[in-house]
Amino acid sequence: MYQALYGLIKKEFIQVFRDKNMLRLIFLLPIIQLLLFGYVVNFDVKNLDLDVYDFDHSSQSRELIQTTSANNYFKPNDEVIALKNLENNFKNSSSDMAIIIPNDFSEKLMNKDKPTISLITDGSNANSTSIGIGYMLQIMQLYTQNYYNIKPKGEIRFDVLYNPEAESVYFMVPGIVATLLTMITVMLTAMAIVREKEVGTLEQLLVTPIKGWVLLLGKIIPFALLGLLEIIIALTFGVLWFKVPFVGSSVLLFSLSGLYLITPLGIGLFFSNITSTQQQAMFFAWFFSVFAILTSGFFTPITNMPIWMQYITYLNPMRYFMEIVRAIMMKGAGLQDLTFQVVILTIYGISVFGLSALRFSKRIS
Partner 1 sequence: MRKVKFIAIKEFYHILRDPKSLVIAIAMPIMMTFLYGYAITLDINNITVAVIDYDKTLESKELVDAVYESTYFSRPDTEPSEHDPEALLRSSQATAILYIRPGFSEALLNNRHFELGMTIDGSDNNLSAAVLNFSKAVLNLYLLDHLPNGIEIPKIEIAVQNLYNPDLTSSHFFVPGLVGIILMMISALLTSITIAREKETGTMEQLLTAPVSTRQILLGKIIPYIMLGLLDGFLVLAVAKILFDIPFVGSQLLLLAFGLIYIAAALALGILISAISKTQQVAMMLALTVTLLPPMMLSGFIFSIKNMPIPLQIFSNIIPAKFFITIIRGITLKGAGVEILAAQGLYLIILMAVLMFIASKKFSTRIA
Partner 2 sequence: MSYAVELHKLSRHFGSFKAVDEISLNVSKGEIFGFLGANGAGKTTAIRMLCGLLLPTSGNGKVAGCDIINESEKIKTKIGYMSQKFSLYGELTGLENINFYGTVYGMNKKDIKNRLELLTDKLELDEFLKRQAHSLPIGWRQRLALAVALLHQPKLLFLDEPTGGVDPIFRRKFWSVLYGLAEEGVTIFVTTHYMDEAEYCGRISIMHQGKIIEIGKPFELVEKYKAENLEQMFIDLINCREVNNA
Residues 5-44 close enough to bind partner 2 by CB under 8 A = 6-8, 10-11, 14-15, 18-19
Whole-number Å distance between alpha carbons of 14 and 363: 26
Least distance (Å) from partner 1 to the CB of residue 30?
11
Q: Does 37 interact with partner 1 (rule: CB under 8 A)? A: yes
Whole-number Å distance between alpha carbons of 175 and 179: 6
Count of residues touching partner 2 (by CB under 8 A): 27
Residue 166 vs 358, nearer CB to partner 2: 358
User: H or E segment at 98?
Assistant: strand 97-101
Q: Does 78 interact with partner 2 (rule: CB under 8 A)? A: no
Distances in whole angstroms, Cα of residue 83 to Cα of each of 79, 99, 115, 170, 214: 12, 11, 21, 44, 75
Which of 126, 207, 358, 364 lies at the binding interface for partner 1 (CB under 8 A)?
126
Q: Are 235 and 177 in contact (CB under 8 A)?
A: yes
Which of 1, 80, 156, 364 lies at the binding interface for partner 1 (CB under 8 A)?
156
Whole-number Å distance between alpha carbons of 291 and 300: 13
Please identify, among the stretches 14-22, 51-59, 225-233, 347-355, the one whose residues bind partner 1 according to the rule CB under 8 A.
14-22
Q: Does 358 interact with partner 2 (rule: CB under 8 A)? A: no
Whole-number Å distance between alpha carbons of 134 and 128: 10
Q: Does 230 interact with partner 1 (rule: CB under 8 A)? A: no
| Residues in Cβ contact with 224 at an 8 Å cutoff, skipping those fewer than 6 apart | 185, 258, 261, 265
Whole-number Å distance between alpha carbons of 178 and 155: 38
Q: Which of 74, 44, 70 is nearest to 142 (CA)?
A: 70
When CB distances are held under 5 to 8 angstroms depending on the partner's kind, the choice from partner 1, partner 2, none that residue 208 binds is partner 2
Residue 4 vs 355, nearer CB to partner 2: 4
Q: Does 363 interact with partner 1 (rule: CB under 8 A)? A: no
Residue 47 vs 204, nearer CB to partner 1: 47
Residue 75 vs 362, nearer CB to partner 2: 362
- Label residue 276 exposed, middle or buried (CB < 10 Å: 0-12, 13-18, 19+): exposed
Residue 330 vs 357, nearer CB to partner 1: 330
Residue 335 vs 347, nearer CB to partner 1: 335
Residues 234-263 within binding reach of partner 1 (CB under 8 A): none
Residues 59-88 within binding reach of partner 1 (CB under 8 A): 87-88
Q: Does 4 interact with partner 2 (rule: CB under 8 A)? A: yes
Residues 279-308 within binding reach of partner 1 (CB under 8 A): 279-280, 282-283, 286-287, 290-291, 294-295, 299-301, 303-306
- Label residue 221 exposed, middle or buried (CB < 10 Å: 0-12, 13-18, 19+): middle
Half-sphere exposure of residue 56: CA atoms within 13 angstroms, side-chain side: 23
Residues 316-345 within binding reach of partner 1 (CB under 8 A): 323, 326-327, 330-333, 337-338, 340
When CB distances are held under 5 to 8 angstroms depending on the partner's kind, the choice from partner 2, partner 1, none that residue 249 binds is none
Task: Kindly tell me the sign of the dihedral angle through the C-alpha atoms of 126, 127, 130, 132.
Answer: negative
Half-sphere exposure of residue 206: CA atoms within 13 angstroms, side-chain side: 13
Residues 192-251 within binding reach of partner 2 (CB under 8 A): 199-201, 203-211
Residues lying near partner 2 in the complex (CB under 8 A): 1, 3-4, 6-8, 10-11, 14-15, 18-19, 199-201, 203-211, 362-364
